[in-house]
Structure 1
Amino acid sequence: MSPKTNILLIGATGHIGGSVLLRFLERSDAASLSITTITRSSEKAGKLRTLGVNVVVGSYSDFPLLEKLASEADVIIDIGDSDDLPAARATLRGTEKRFKATGVAPILIHTSGTGVLSDNAAGMYAYETIYDDANPEQIETLAPTQFHRNIDLELINADKQGYVKTYLVIPSMIYGIASGRLVELGIQNRQSFQIPLLICMSLDRGQGGMVGEGKNLWPNVHIDDVADLYVVLYDAIISNPATGHGREGIYFAENGEISLYDVGVAISKVLVELGRGKSAEPTPFTEEEVDKYFAGIPYFGSNSRCVATRSRSIGWQPTRTTADLFASIKPETEDLLKQSIDDWIQQARQRLVTALDLNVVAALVEPVSAP
């Protein structure tokens, strides 16, 4: 009997992570995989074990634990915190130990985000540059101070040293409510970040909004299509070890592009339909609202444009389009109305603040003229 492939999946209870885990559990070769994950919740740990997952109750900030688990894995799929540099370094130390023990470079699939492409447009223009994941020279022009970029560079450098093969999955604006067994069992977070936050802010102010004029553009992708990319990438790596990694291992997830003004219009119309909005026309967030919702950081006024050439070249075929994003806003809003909007805003605001490096914050706060 062939030994099982040891997979460490970091972030299995999250919006993306749970969707990816479900796909691995439902694979026809699932019996050949030994999947391990970490959770702080003993209750969720028990539920995960009923699905055949090996669970360690602990924290991602327990770096010795993270290093140990990484040193025991053939494949690491990191869908945890895209901005936790100490955790990323602990994981890399584990992969280096694995390489020294086996002589085989383990696989590390890490989750970043197209926030790495963001600028300081403050909603006043759309920039013309479209980043292509099949063009490493273009991506290397990004400043090391860009959102997520410090960890991306750390992983690419580790790949260059040869003790690990790194692959960066870089999702764009994710939308859609997750579904499936993990959601039904209360294990997985059902919702993404950007669209729900914009809805919550709009509910709070009674009208859809945008930063500046909302002319900035972002790509988008449905949660199911994002999760599929991880599986397609995993299969490509296993079947062909020459699959691009390191500086050649950037994999964007996008299937359409939208202005933040159009997002604001869609949210405004839904709020009016549900009796929670003043007008079907969005209005700019005031300075006070930017402070309240974004801690003074006009992140939602930035541009982030890309094309997933490399992702599609390995067989990824996203099926949901921007029309599906529009269709998702009403059910997302109805779901959020059952929750505490104030709590959601505060948690999301804190997440944004802690994620953004101070250099990135400084660059986003002062808008510049269109290039």
Structure 2
Amino acid sequence: MKVFVTGGNGFIGQVVVKTLIEHGHEVLALAHSDHSAQQLTQAGATPIKGSLDDLDSLSTAAKSSDGVIHLAFTNDFNHYDEAVAKDMAAIKALGDALANTDKPLVNTSGTLMAVGMGRTATEQDHMAHPVGRAASEALALSYAQQGVRASVVRLAPTVHDVQRQGFGSILAQMAVNQGKIGYVGDGTNVWPSVHRNDAAQLFVAALENGEAGATYNAVAEEGVPVKTIVETIGNTLRVPVEHFDEETAKAYFGWFEPTVVGSNPISSTWTQKVLDWHPREKGLLDDLKTCLSNPTNVAALQQPRN
């Protein structure tokens, strides 16, 4: 297949491009700069100059392809509504281009779109009134009714390898810069995780064999207790691990406090069954330990996160 990929230079996108090529696919990838285009060329992909704002380029590339994997997202959480609006415009351009072709469109979402269920969520759980990226998810899936083999891959918030661990890296940076770390309540609230290599395999599986209208959960570990994550970070960095009361937690974590106290247990049992996808990489805690045992990585955390 000729596959158009957005976000092909990203943390997950790089592995998706590599995996697609290993599966024998030809890859066209959106490139927002000359440097990005050079990296994609070196990876074996054909760069398509443009950005998420360039809807005509997205449409043209999608029409010339046999399928699309949409990974790109503007991670500007200071202007989140604008980022979501841009994402939805891109999804519409891609979906309209593929309408009535039965070609696959794999969109990216997150497991946090199925939070607050009061139980372990599944692929069948969706927000009753979707907002934010849940609205993007719903828009993408709506194209299943317009002749597109549209599906969604929900990423765990702690996509990881030995260099980056998603939410875990945010906590680690706070620990490095504040000289301690803590948890709230009993710390049994959980975050799911997945290694980026396993996530990339799932995107390709959804492209090749996904069902129209399906949601797939990129989750290897259904729920790692936040207290365990905090203790792993504290012990590896050799900083104190404390129990924070509500006031201390808000002062320490700031904007991240609601996430630290939240819980997102979610299953990928159905995903693994229907797509024969089985995560094989190391878990979150192993990668956290490896990352934070490297002085160079710890020194990098002393710099503000972009």
> TM-score, with normalisation over the residues of structure 1?
0.71
| Counterpart check, 1:336 vs 2:303 | no
SS at match of 1:112: strand
> 2:258 is matched with which residue: 298, 313, 316?
298
SS at match of 1:339: helix
Tell me what 1:23 maps to.
Answer: 19
Tell me what 2:174 maps to.
Answer: 201
Higher RCO structure, 1 or 2 (CA under 8 Å, sep 6+): 1
Unpaired runs of 5+ in structure 2? 75-82
How far 1:288 sits from its partner (Å)? Answer: 6.9
SS at match of 1:338: helix
Letter in 2 for 1:159: A
| Counterpart check, 1:129 vs 2:89 | no
How far 1:26 sits from its partner (Å)? Answer: 2.1
Write the distance in 1 (CA, Å) between the matches of 2:165 and 2:51: 21
> 2:152 is matched with which residue: 137, 160, 168?
168
Tell me what 1:354 maps to.
Answer: none
How far 1:200 sits from its partner (Å)? Answer: 0.5
| Structure number, greater radius of gyration | 1
| Counterpart check, 1:64 vs 2:53 | no
Tell me what 2:268 maps to.
Answer: 308
More strand by share: 2
Tell me what 1:85 maps to.
Answer: 85
How far 1:340 sits from its partner (Å)? Answer: 5.1
Tell me what 1:47 maps to.
Answer: 39
Is the contact between residue 153 and residue 217 of structure 2 (CA under 8 Å) also seen in structure 1? yes
Tell me what 1:143 maps to.
Answer: 128
Is the contact between residue 118 and residue 147 of structure 1 (CA under 8 Å) also seen in structure 2? no
| Counterpart check, 1:268 vs 2:253 | no
Write the distance in 2 (CA, Å) between the matches of 1:57 and 1:73: 15
Over the matched positions of the two proteins, sequence identity in percent amounts to 18
SS at match of 1:252: strand
| Counterpart check, 1:226 vs 2:199 | yes
Q: Between Structure 1 and Structure 2, how many residues are aligned?
A: 294
Q: Deviations over 1:126-148 (max 9, x none)?
A: x7411122xx3xx14x2324552
Q: Deviations over 1:77-130 (max 9, x none)?
A: 01112863333333333432343xxx52321111111111234xxxxxxx7411
SS at match of 2:12: helix
Write the distance in 1 (CA, Å) between the matches of 2:11 and 2:177: 24
Is the contact between residue 207 and residue 283 of structure 1 (CA under 8 Å) also seen in structure 2? no
Write the distance in 2 (CA, Å) between the matches of 1:155 and 1:175: 22
Matches within 5 A, 1:115-126: 115-119=112-116
Is the contact between residue 110 and residue 156 of structure 2 (CA under 8 Å) also seen in structure 1? yes
